[in-house]
Structure formats: C-alpha cells, structure tokens
Structure 1
C-alpha cells in the first residue's frame, strides 16, 4: 500500500468560503448609499468583486421626429440599435458606482436587464448568476418607483439560498436570511473557522499562499453538500413541454454536440439562452450518472464549474448555462475556423481548471474527484473563461478524520483512456491525484494543441533536446521562453506515472499557475492596449473605407457614413452592398455605433 506521504489528506486543505454579492441600483444618487454600505461591509470581509443589477422597463416604442413609433412597426436592426444606445447611456450613468468600487480596489460588473417585473427579473438573475447575497434599498418612490413595499416582495420572492440586506438611510434596516443555516454553520460575517482534530485553522492561512480575490465567487461545498432534511437544492424544475419548446422540439440545427451520455441542444428559457443535455437512455448506469451530476451541480457554485440552471428529472434532462465558445477541445483544434486561443489565455485557463479541481477536492463532508477531466469537458464562455462540466462520472469520497489518505477503491473503469490515472488502471484506486494526472495532460495540450496520445513523450523529448519551441502551438503567438518551459515541466510532473511523484495541487501546482497567470495577465493587458489603436471593422464605412463620422442605417440594412451614402444616392438608387434597388432613401441614425465610435476616439486621444 502507498506510504502516508503519497496522498495528502484532502480534508486538511482549507479553502475560503466566498460569496457572490449583488447590489440592486438605479440612476438615483440615493443608490450611492447602497454602494457605500456594501463596500464598507464586504470589503472588510475579503470580498473584492460585486455585481450591480439595473432593471430597466421594456422598450415598447422608438422615439422619432414624428413621435414615438411602436417597436412592432420598426425594423429589427433599428430596434436593436436603439436598445443598445439606451443600454450604453444607462451604463455611463452608472459609472459613478463603478468608480466608487475602483477606489476600494473592488472589481464590479454592471448587469442590465430589461423587464417590467423587477421582482421576477432579480429572481432570475440571482438563480442564473448564483448570487447568495443581495443588497437593496428600502421601498420608496425614488428608488423603486413601481410599487410600494417592493423590498419586502423581493425578500419574500427570491430563492431561499440568497440573503437579502435592506438598506435605509445608509444603515441596515433588515436582513432576510438565506437557508444556508440548514445546510451549514457559516455566519454572514465570514469569520467562521473550521475545526479539525481539535485545532482551528483560519481562512487567512490559505490566502497567504493563494490570494483570496483570485477565488472570485467561491461558495463552500462544505455548506452545500452537507445533506440534511430540508436542505436547499438550487435548480429550477422544468416540465417536458418547456424543454421541448425551448429546444424547438430538439431541432437538428440547435444541436451543439453529442457524447457518450447524451445529446446537447442550444435552447431558450425565459429569454435566457441555455444548453439542454438529454440522456440517450434510461438504463441504470445512465440514470446514476444523471443523478450524480444533478446532485453535484445543484449544490455547488464556483466560477469555473459549469452552472446548472435546472432539470427535468422525469425525462433525464439537465439545463446548463450556454457557453458561447464551446469546448476547449474544439477551440484548440480551431474547429469551424474559430480563431486560435492566445498563449496568455491558455496560461489563465490552466489556473482556472486547477482552482476548480482544488475546490472539488475540498468538498465537505465528501471530497469530489472529477475522474473525466479533458479538453472536451472544459467549456469556454464568450470571454474564453473556462468552466469544468460533465461531472456525471465523478466520485464522492467520505472525508474520514481517522484515515491517513483519501482513496477510493473502484474496479469498474471510468473516464477517458489517455487522461486516466495509470495507477487507477493498475490498482483500481482513485484519489484526488487522479485528477492531477488528467490536469497534467490538459496542460500539455494547452501548450501543443496536440492529441493526448503520446503527448508526454513528445514534450519530454523536446525538453531533453532543448527544442520545446518546435512542439508548441505556433498559432498561440510568441510564447515566453522561461514561463512556457516552467509550465511544460509542471505538466509533465502532474502526469507522472506514480501518484507519489505528482505535485500537491494546493501547495505546488496552484502557486506556480498563479504566478504564471500574473505574467499572462500583463501580456493580455498590453495586447488589448495595442489593439485599441486599430479601429474595429464595424466602425469602417464600406464606401469611405475609413471610420464613420455620422453612422446611419440605410434601407438595405447596412450602416454607412451619412455624407458618403448621400453622395452615393446622387448617382445610384441601388444598394452599395447588394446592388439591389433600395426601397427608400430614408436614413436612420445609428446612435449606438456613434456612441461607440466617440468612446473609441476619446480613448485614442
């Protein structure tokens, strides 16, 4: 049997409990009081990221010189442009709150939602974004103008896993406690400490090696996996009719992919785009994997774990958030001519995946081993932020204080061969270091964009011959020599054949990836700054071949500079883009594009 040092006890590792905090604000300066209160409270607790929710009424008409025209009578592209302009103007007005957060070194995301039902809109955003703390103002005509006692309705209507703080005149008026106490013993001050074998370990000990702010939106699985009667399951229950309608009766053109467990379809639920996975069959193994994935994802929240929106249990359907950039496997292979991932994004993705694994391994009372980590199960959103999915094959291991290691005996093969722990294949023993092996293979693929088979030997040979650059993915840009070599060595060490030679995820892997990520972040910022000097393509007039001064939409649906298209009209009645006759010469100002161009020009000064 392996010695005591081979596998470190997972339940000795401590991860900070981290909340996702949102503030409901509007354009009124009284919302400043809400923001100030939230900053004073939560910054001292180590929370360095906030979300600002702004609910605006639905747009029913478009203002014109001749009066307001119903949206049903206006072309869709004009409606979209007007809505974007409204959103931009509101965003600018809310920048005062963003600046308040910046002075306290707090990251902030402004989230605008169009709805005539504030309560329902907030409820959907809370579920969608896994918010467990919401700060609102007391009901008044100036802050919430739609109905009286709106704050009470919000407190009563939002999901029970979210705590509502109601602020009045700069002070805490009331707290609508969540149900977290039914599944954990963490108070809202975040000063709770975990007791292990008679000793107390504080969160600050962990944050000294890994900055707490890097674990944005962590919520401890110790709270959520501790099952008791009445524990909260955080997902929405859909009917089969809703699933069918959302996926257009499982239309082929909405099919995203097909795997061993099920088929995935792009779907739309309550104006929210999601992804529905439908099981291929209802046999025992498939049902077990479905229930396992439902149990894990419905009780866990982490910024780099795929979010579960809901499920239709009777028909074996899971509804996830939609990830615009598909899987890491597809992006590494540039499937469908998608652009390659830059090296600095790959450094960041390696850290994100490792942090999610560490989170799973530290679950309480049961550690979670993913067991099927691979690029196909790592999904990317529109900003290339990665999230691990497909936890149906994961294993939960009881954290037993009397045990010297966290190991599970499993004689049935689970996972994908090239990513499967060799010692698991030999002995049937599964441990957190089984995921570390798979992480090593993923890191090597991030570097090379090569198939997993024989990739260890490929990179090892290249390093021994000092020819690592020859196996790197050239499409990723100019790799930094020293940092890339360090990442390659780390990937190989994670992929060692024997568990005892693989590095510890918390003490070794995460700190190295954290340092490499900081290098990558600097390069990413520099690249963004350089790209700002080149105007985006949609700023260029197709006639002038230069940035537009007064963008407007013509009858053909294309946007031109006003002076250029008027000059064109002097010689032709056809579209410059399609060469088809124009139905009219009426031009509609593209206010959204104009604002974007002006903002870009301002940054260039």
Structure 2
C-alpha cells in the first residue's frame, strides 16, 4: 500500500524499514487524493514517461541540430555572397590595373620619344657649341657688346637710384601714423616685460605690429617728440641709421625697426653673458658708424650733427650690422647754463671745445668717434682712456692694452686704429682729422685686399673675398651664398649695394661665374706649383 508523506516531514534512519521505497510525486495543490495507490503503478508510469521523455529529448536534439545546420547554411550563404562581392571587386581592380598598365606603357613610349627628342636636341646643341667655339672673334665682339650693355644698365640703375632718392626726399614729410590702441596691442598694454630700456629720451618697448617686431619709444616730453620728428623729417634713409617706421601723436610715441642685439655699450661689456665682439666685427662697426656720420654731415645746406654719439646710441642688428640712433636730439639737453642728464656717461664722449664754446660741429662727432674707436680697441671704460692709450703708444706697450677677447687682432691694424683714435680725440678741433680722412683710413683697414690680378667681379661685395658659392640676388648683384643669406636672415630686406628694397628674397646660383672662379683658382694653383718647382 502506498502511503502519502508530507514533503516537509523529516524522519530518522530507524524509522525506515527494510524494503521501504520513498517516492515523491509533484501534484497540483488543489488535488487532495493520492494519484497512485501503489508503487508499482507509479514506477510503471515513471518508466513510460522516461521513454516519452527520451523521444522528446531526441526530437529536441534534432531540432537543435537542424537549427545549427540552418545557421551554418545562412552563414555559408553570407560568406558566399561576400566572396562573390570580393571576387567582383578583384575583377574590377584587375581591369583597373590593366588600364593603368596600358597607360604606363603609353607613358613609357612617350618618354622614349621625348628621350630621343632630347638626344636629338643635345646633338644639335653640341653642334652649335662647336660652331660657337669656332667663332672666337664673334664671341669677343658679343662679350664687348655685353660689357657695354652692362655699363648702360648700371648707368640706368644709378639714374633709377637717384630718382628714388629724389622721390624719397619729396615724400619725406609723409610719416605713418599709428593709433594708440595699436601700440597697446603691440606691447600688451605696455607691460613691464616688454620694456627694454629707459633713457633721458624716453622709455623703449618691444612690440609686434602686423607680425613685425618693432621698437616703440614713448618720448619723455612733447618737445623731445617734436624735435625727433623734425630731425627724422629732415634726415634720410641710410643702411647704418635706424629705420623710422612711424609715430603716434596721441602719446608722443615713435616706432622704429627692431634690432635684436641691443646697443654697442652692452655688447662691449658682454651684458647678459653674450659673447665678446670679434675684431672683425669691431672694425666693421667703426666703418659703419663712420659711413653713417658721413651721410649725416653731407646734408645741405646745413650738416646734421649727431651730438650724442655714444655706444648706447649705436644699435646692433642680428647680423651685427650697426645703426645710429637718437641723433640730432642733444640740443634740447645741451643748452648753455643747463646740466644735462647722465652727465657722467656723456662727458667722456663730449667735444671739449663744445664745453667752452657751446656749439656743435661735425668735428664734435669726430671726437666722439675717436673715443668709441679706442673703446672697441681696448675694451676699457671711456674715462681717461685717451691718456692710457697715448701713454701705451709712446712706450710701445700698446699690445698690452688691446682687448684679448676680440681675438688675434692684427697688430698693424690695431696700431693704425689707435693712432687714428688719438688724432680724433685731440683737445682742439683744428688738430682733428676731417671725417673724410677718417673714412679713408678706416675703409683701407676694413676692406680686405683681393688676390693679385683677381677680376673684380670674383669678389663678394659683402665679405670682400673671392666667392666660393656665388648667388645672384634680386638686385642683380652676385654675393657669396653664406654672406647674402646671413644678410637676409638678419631681417634686412634691402640691397647691400644700393640700399633699395629687394623685390624678393630669391637667390639664383651663378654657375657661370662659379666655373670661371674655379678655373681661375686652378690656374693660380698650377702657376704657384710651377713657380715652386722652378725655385727648387
């Protein structure tokens, strides 16, 4: 007899007798009667259910297998479609490559034809060269004609330069006017970080206007501003005078070109751990200052006198080219009975006769130039420098005073500069040399003599040396590549020869001139070797 048990009922092992079978049947909650009165019927039912369950499981497995096969079939169809698509793309690419191959073949054929044409033209050119070589007389005539044409072009160029100068003089009254807001933007509202100097003439700031770095000077007073504008209107343009860009009348400000190397005083003192100036650069600076003074003194009807020529008023560009600054302004400070600012720094450069007579002349600038020459030569402070150099010169100990940081300064040149500087700083004007005489001495010292019998057009106008890599600039002149690139990279956009604006910065290799120079140098070497062999 099968007895129903509570599923939650618990019993011990002792309560289970041998042969008892405990079965659990899940039934609806609503059913209160026993479905199976005996274990046998229950087990038979379970056995039947197991066979049916197995069949169901088998069918379910077949269904799962069919689904898997169906998925595989779908995936295979998709892959087949993808492969067909890739096949079609591959066919298209093959067709495209075939087309490109045909195009390449056509290009190769055209290149072969062009090569044949070039060979033909080369043969014609060689025949023409042979014909020209056989016509030496005609070639000489053409060279003479070319020289005459070159001379004519130079004459026309000189006329053009004169015309430009005349136009500049006519338009010298026109000065670019800037708004104050423009200067504020350029200097970030005159931030202290942009301030680079403060002198008796005004505060100077570094700024950027239209992507160009400039120097902006706020004049100390309206009278200084008006005086400087007046001087700039009467002056002119020169390669060794700071270029005036414009002004702002609202705040009495003037805008100049930016020269990144600062002033000569700082360079002599090696301020901010800058390297010392070489003797080559120092002699070049002396030459450039002298050239600028000649320009100022040549003004008609009255010569322009700088009046405050000191190293702090000589600015240095990126290429170590020097330019005068603050010229013609000293008359506002040097009135009779007045005490000018910075008297201690001015006095060593001031003409002694001016202190007694009260007038400035070109020879006053010559005195200041003499002190600058002695400073560049010795690197010493300006106070009592004349006495020290004169004593060393008389005792033949000049070599002890020459600034060693400038390098191996040729003693002959150093001695000539010392003598020239001492002549310039004579107490009376009548004993000082004229600036033209100073220029003659300085120009001879700076200019490097070319090789004997060397053609003049082999010499670089900047370096005064035979060129190794001649490059023609847009001004029509040929320069050594390194020299003209340094000139352009220094921010200059004007011709080193004419001071006119360069149309562009393009440099063209002058291969014909380079070949001529190489032939000349090879011939010179061969001649030197032959002479040496004869001497041996």
Q: Which whole-Å deviations, capped at 9, do the CAs of 1:470-507 have from their partners, x for residues lacking one?
A: 1111111001011110011101100110000000111x
TM-score by length of 1: 0.47
Specify the alignment match of 1:294 in structure 2: 229
Q: Is the 8 A contact 2:305 2:328 kept in 1?
A: no
- Provide the C-alpha distance between the structure 2 equivalents of 1:39 and 1:307, rounded to a whole number of angstroms: 32
Q: Is the 8 A contact 1:292 1:394 kept in 2?
A: no
The number of residue pairs the alignment matches comes to 306
- Provide the C-alpha distance between the structure 2 equivalents of 1:345 and 1:220, rounded to a whole number of angstroms: 33
Q: Is the 8 A contact 2:352 2:427 kept in 1?
A: yes
Q: 1:250 to 1:190 in 2, by over 3 A?
A: closer
Specify the alignment match of 1:488 in structure 2: 418
Deviation at 1:366, TM superposition (A): 2.8
Q: Is the 8 A contact 1:368 1:394 kept in 2?
A: no
TM-score by length of 2: 0.52
Q: Is the 8 A contact 1:290 1:392 kept in 2?
A: no
Deviation at 1:392, TM superposition (A): 5.0
Q: Which whole-Å deviations, capped at 9, do the CAs of 1:358-399 have from their partners, x for residues lacking one?
A: 111111233211100000000010000000001251569xxx
Deviation at 1:432, TM superposition (A): 1.0
Deviation at 1:288, TM superposition (A): 2.5
Q: Is the 8 A contact 1:344 1:520 kept in 2?
A: no
Q: Which whole-Å deviations, capped at 9, do the CAs of 1:305-335 have from their partners, x for residues lacking one?
A: 1111111022111110000111011011110
Deviation at 1:351, TM superposition (A): 1.0
2:405 paired with 1:475: yes
- Provide the C-alpha distance between the structure 2 equivalents of 1:519 and 1:461, rounded to a whole number of angstroms: 30
Greater fraction strand: 1
Q: Is the 8 A contact 1:493 1:501 kept in 2?
A: yes
Deviation at 1:261, TM superposition (A): 1.8
Specify the alignment match of 1:511 in structure 2: 440
Q: 1:314 to 1:497 in 2, by over 3 A?
A: same
Specify the alignment match of 1:393 in structure 2: 329
Q: 1:464 to 1:40 in 2, by over 3 A?
A: closer
Q: 1:350 to 1:373 in 2, by over 3 A?
A: same
Deviation at 1:292, TM superposition (A): 2.0
- Provide the C-alpha distance between the structure 1 equivalents of 2:256 and 2:153, rounded to a whole number of angstroms: 29
Deviation at 1:232, TM superposition (A): 3.9
2:177 paired with 1:237: yes
2:438 paired with 1:327: no
Q: Is the 8 A contact 1:45 1:190 kept in 2?
A: no
2:243 paired with 1:307: yes
2:225 paired with 1:279: no
Q: Secondary structure at the match of 2:207?
A: strand
Greater fraction helix: 2
- Provide the C-alpha distance between the structure 2 equivalents of 1:245 and 1:236, rounded to a whole number of angstroms: 17
Q: Is the 8 A contact 2:349 2:368 kept in 1?
A: yes
Q: 1:463 to 1:324 in 2, by over 3 A?
A: same
Gaps of 5+ in 1: 1-35, 48-186, 192-216, 397-407, 530-605
Deviation at 1:525, TM superposition (A): 7.4
Q: Is the 8 A contact 1:368 1:395 kept in 2?
A: no
- Provide the C-alpha distance between the structure 1 equivalents of 2:267 and 2:185, rounded to a whole number of angstroms: 30
Q: Is the 8 A contact 1:370 1:395 kept in 2?
A: no
Specify the alignment match of 1:427 in structure 2: 357
Q: Which has the larger radius of gyration?
A: 2
- Provide the C-alpha distance between the structure 1 equivalents of 2:359 and 2:240, rounded to a whole number of angstroms: 27
Specify the alignment match of 1:380 in structure 2: 316
Specify the alignment match of 1:357 in structure 2: 293
- Provide the C-alpha distance between the structure 2 equivalents of 1:189 and 1:312, rounded to a whole number of angstroms: 30
> Residues 130-149 of structure 1 correspond to what in structure 2 (within 5 A)?
none
- Match for residue 190 of structure 2 among 235, 250, 272: 250
Q: 1:525 to 1:232 in 2, by over 3 A?
A: closer
- Provide the C-alpha distance between the structure 2 equivalents of 1:349 and 1:368, rounded to a whole number of angstroms: 20
Show structure 1 runs of 4+ deviating over 4 A.
38-42, 187-191, 408-415, 520-529
Q: Is the 8 A contact 1:332 1:446 kept in 2?
A: yes
Gaps of 5+ in 2: 1-146, 452-461, 469-536
Specify the alignment match of 2:281 in structure 1: 345
Q: Which whole-Å deviations, capped at 9, do the CAs of 1:20-69 have from their partners, x for residues lacking one?
A: xxxxxxxxxxxxxxxx9x9776522575xxxxxxxxxxxxxxxxxxxxxx
Q: 1:432 to 1:479 in 2, by over 3 A?
A: same
Q: Is the 8 A contact 2:448 2:464 kept in 1?
A: no
Q: Is the 8 A contact 2:304 2:328 kept in 1?
A: no
Specify the alignment match of 1:501 in structure 2: 431
Q: Is the 8 A contact 2:204 2:216 kept in 1?
A: yes
Q: Is the 8 A contact 1:348 1:520 kept in 2?
A: no
Specify the alignment match of 1:136 in structure 2: none
Q: Is the 8 A contact 1:494 1:502 kept in 2?
A: yes
Q: 1:520 to 1:470 in 2, by over 3 A?
A: farther
Q: Is the 8 A contact 1:263 1:277 kept in 2?
A: yes
Deviation at 1:296, TM superposition (A): 2.3
Deviation at 1:340, TM superposition (A): 1.0
- Provide the C-alpha distance between the structure 2 equivalents of 1:232 and 1:475, rounded to a whole number of angstroms: 43
Q: Which whole-Å deviations, capped at 9, do the CAs of 1:134-173 have from their partners, x for residues lacking one?
A: xxxxxxxxxxxxxxxxxxxxxxxxxxxxxxxxxxxxxxxx
Q: 1:525 to 1:242 in 2, by over 3 A?
A: same
Q: 1:528 to 1:40 in 2, by over 3 A?
A: closer
Q: 1:328 to 1:42 in 2, by over 3 A?
A: farther
